[in-house]
Amino acid sequence: MAEVSIIVPVYQVENYIRQCVDSILAQTFTDFELILVDDGSTDRSGEICDGYAGMDERVVVIHKENGGLSDARNRGMDQMTGNYFMFVDSDDYIAPTMVECMYKSMIDKDADIVACNFLYYFENDREKDFPTNAKFEILSGTEVFYIKKNERNYGIWTVAWNKLYKRETFGKERFRFGKYHEDEFWANDIYQMNIKVLTIPECLYYYRQRNSGIMGKKRIARDFDIMEAFQERIFIYLKEQNYAEQAYKVLIYSLEYLEESKRLIANSNEKKSFIQAEKRTKDIVKELKKKELSKIQKISLVLIGINPCFTFAVGMKFRGALERFL
């Protein structure tokens, strides 16, 4: 049994999977198993994975029908044997010291999660690469969920792949099946647990940006899913005392996706989903009106309650003036 399980969902990445796997097999920490979950690829990705399994006994390959990223990660978690586990996306790659650094930090501080910085990797324009800027911090799940996830750099705590997890704590957790922005839902679930989170300043993960991926496409389903995750988080905030400001901020985030989805509606099912999302937005507004907020926030809630998309569009047009006024 390996000490660390590294789970890599694989789908249509024949041009990237070698760099990903090679970076994992080159780790200075060697007591790991690499679980490659071929999620029904129709290119040579699965064949390439099998080739690595034939070369290194630490590599385990699972071939399955396509079920999406969440399903592939869950399948890997079902298979894993390590005391600790992590995820790497198959078009990304990691620094050679990532596992060692994360593992030593986990053991030293007895954390449930260790999160590192990551670098946005733009293939065609290296000058635009830039790192995130997390610092050394020890936090509770509550501090992350209610405070850190509302900061500018909240992606550090949201994404699933820049982290090492303790299996004893999270081994029974699973990603929500069939969701885009599955990491947002995962974060909603795990940070409500009684956990210890450690962030470290080392930049150890390389997050590839490519237009052909899910994040590079205009997908209305993506917008509906992230709205659902945001709205779920807002309702959790509203159940607690003193988190109205956080709920208001996430509401404003969600309006951009609501407005975008309205522009992209192409069929009756999408229109139905939009109506449901808009209704949840107005329900949130009703609850927020009962909370302690500033006068300008109260006024904005009245306008959002009347027409969320129009209010967002006007707000963006006059954003500079509003920021100066506030």
Domain boundaries, the chain: 4-214, 218-325
Question: Do you know the residue count of the chain?
Answer: 326
Question: Is the model more confident about 210 or about 212?
Answer: 210
What pairing do the DSSP bridges indicate for beta strands 93-94 and 113-122? unpaired
Q: At what angle do helices 220-239 and 268-288 cross, to 10 degrees?
A: 20
DSSP 206: E
**Residue 38 and residue 118 in contact, taking contact as beta carbons nearer than 8 Å:** no
Write the class of the CATH domain 4-214: alpha beta
What pLDDT was estimated at residue 212? 55
For residues 126 and 133, what is the distance between their CA atoms, to the nearest angstrom?
A: 18
Rounded-to-5 percentages of helix, strand, coil across the chain: 50, 20, 30
Indicate the pTM of the whole model: 0.91
Token pair 């550090």 in the structure block, residue = 156
In this structure, of 166-175, 214-223, 304-313, the range with the lowest mean pLDDT score is: 214-223
Minimum mean pLDDT among 66-70, 121-125, 142-146: which range? 121-125
Beta-strand pair 137-140/196-209 = antiparallel
Q: Give the CB-side neighbour count of residue 216, counting CA atoms within 13 A.
A: 7
What percent of the chain lies above the pLDDT cut of 70? 90
Separation of alpha carbons 149 and 158, rounded Å? 7
Q: Is the pLDDT of residue 137 over 90?
A: yes
Q: Count Cβ neighbours within 10 Å for each residue of 120-145 and write b for 16 or more, e otherwise.
A: ebeeeeeeeeeebebeeeebbbeebb
Judge whether 70 and 41 are in contact, CB under 8 Å: no
Q: Which of 53-67, 161-175, 231-245 has the lowest mean pLDDT?
A: 231-245
| Among 42, 49, 86, 43, CA closest to 65 | 42
Tokens of 199: 């962030």
In the structure encoding, which two tokens stand for residue 10, read together? 């694989």
Which conformational region is residue 242 in: left (phi greater than 0), alpha (psi within -120 to 50 degrees), or beta? left
| CB atoms near residue 269 (< 10 Å) | 10
